[in-house]
Chains A and B, each alone.
Chain A
Amino acid sequence: DQQVKQNSPSLSVQEGRISILNCDYTNSMFDYFLWYKKYPAEGPTFLISISSIKDKNEDGRFTVFLNKSAKHLSLHIVPSQPGDSAVYFCAASGGTYKYIFGTGTRLKVLA
């Protein structure tokens, strides 16, 4: 049972444009959501998070939106840069010590 889903395995975007990565979850107990960026052969690095009491959190070029009623969150990267090319994972936690990750979306930013 995949509680956190990233339905787009890959995404290509032109440099300077907006990248939108999507994530859906099924467990209504989740109350904290995170986005991570991962390069090959490295551990994931934390990007941005959002609590369920908010619907938006912004940090520089990165903005995360949360729609609790739809159980959906998205990460917006504006403007996209070639260095943003990586695999992006969303993750969720709530009520337990566990962090559940999605399957990842590979973003390629074209110069």
Chain B
Amino acid sequence: SQTIHQWPATLVQPVGSPLSLECTVEGTSNPNLYWYRQAAGRGLQLLFYSVGIGQISSEVPQNLSASRPQDRQFILSSKKLLLSDSGFYLCASPSLAGANVLTFGAGSRLTVL
């Protein structure tokens, strides 16, 4: 079965510091991968998606970037965090049970102080 791992689970960072959140997927190959953010009162916002290694589509202009160095690895980064980057970051991939259903990881909680 497919499993999505995210780490770290929780992160507290000062403004201006860098960020790296990692997502890895087990049990499937060449998956589409997605980064979403849940910010207070904002729902689930699609940040990036990737259909293959090195292929990244950005959905909103922001202080973040994404990379896909390996087939089952998706990384969310920032060079300098802003207060507004705080939120709950979720990695997702289409479920093996149904390509139209997204399966999510457990998420990474980022607090920028």
Contact = CB atoms under 8 A, between A and B. Distances in A.
B59 A44 contact: no
B101 A98 contact: no
A18 B110 CA distance: 36
Given A101-B43, A101-B44, A93 B105 contact: no
Contact of A97 (B36, B49, B107): B49
Interface string B20-49: 000000000000101010000111111001
Q: Is the interface of B mostly helix, strand, loop or mixed?
A: strand
A100 B92 CA distance: 13
A89 interface: yes
B19 interface: no
Interface residues of A, number: 23
B102 interface: yes
Contacts of B72: none
B43 A103 contact: yes
A89 B43 contact: yes
Interface string A35-78: 01000011111100100000000000000000000000000000
Contact of B34 (A32, A89, A99): A99
Interface of A: 6, 9, 32, 34, 36, 41-46, 49, 89, 91, 93, 97-104
